[in-house]
Chains A and B, each alone.
Chain A
């Protein structure tokens, strides 16, 4: 099946630890995104990538890092520098060439800092 797979679905972390959230897609989309969602709120863009080996900061990149070594994969690392990391994290993809900007989402990863 074509789609976006995020893992893990739930993750617990102690303060001071880095964690990495996985996002894999088989839609052959060029662009990939990471959004953060807090309870009762909309989505805020963390990082995005239009092409392999290139990525740009979104609106709330501080305390996060990403890599894009393969077209299919866009992992997000939540570092200890992120002051309030407890949130729901969503990965998305879109076509670039000829695309409308429509986003396709994974099922999300819920991170809780203990």
Chain B
């Protein structure tokens, strides 16, 4: 079963622009994580935000979490061609052990 739903499914922007991806989920969570996947490769963890946090930054990444709306957003500022990848949100349910992934947003950054 899919927990998260990412929006948009695909995004194409110019280098230097900001990219925003959204994620909605269904159940109570312990934390929410964002991962990146280059084509044909494994996933790499980008950032984690706990359920009692509202915003978190890491370099050019900014993540927000709204537990009342069960939604999160990932902002990549000043995008680069190397940011081209698929981005997934994943949730660890409260008291749970399984991490459940959304379907992902495919980001294409044009040089």
Interface residues in chain A, defined as those with a beta carbon under 8 Å from any beta carbon in chain B: 4, 6, 31, 33, 35, 40-45, 48, 50, 58-59, 88, 90, 92, 94, 100-108, 110
Tell whether, in the assembled complex, residue B43 and residue A59 are in contact, meaning their CB atoms are under 8 Å apart: no
How many A-B pairs have beta carbons closer than 8 Å: the answer is 63
Q: Using Cβ atoms and an 8 Å threshold, which residues of chain A touch B69? A: none
Query: Chain B: interface secondary structure?
Result: strand
B74 to chain A, nearest CB (A): 15
- Of the listed residues A48, A88, A92, A101, the one surrounded by the most CB atoms of chain B closer than 10 A to its CB is A101
Tell whether, in the assembled complex, residue A43 and residue B40 are in contact, meaning their CB atoms are under 8 Å apart: no
Q: Interface size class for chain B?
A: 20 to 34
Q: Could you pull out 25 A-B pairs where Cβ atoms are within 8 angstroms? A: A33-B99, A40-B106, A41-B103, A42-B88, A42-B102, A42-B103, A43-B43, A50-B97, A58-B98, A88-B40, A94-B99, A100-B48, A101-B31, A101-B33, A101-B99, A102-B48, A103-B33, A103-B43, A103-B90, A103-B99, A105-B42, A105-B43, A106-B42, A108-B41, A108-B42
**From B104, which residue of chain A is reached at the shortest CB distance?**
A42
A79 to chain B, nearest CB (A): 22
**From A104, which residue of chain B is reached at the shortest CB distance?**
B45
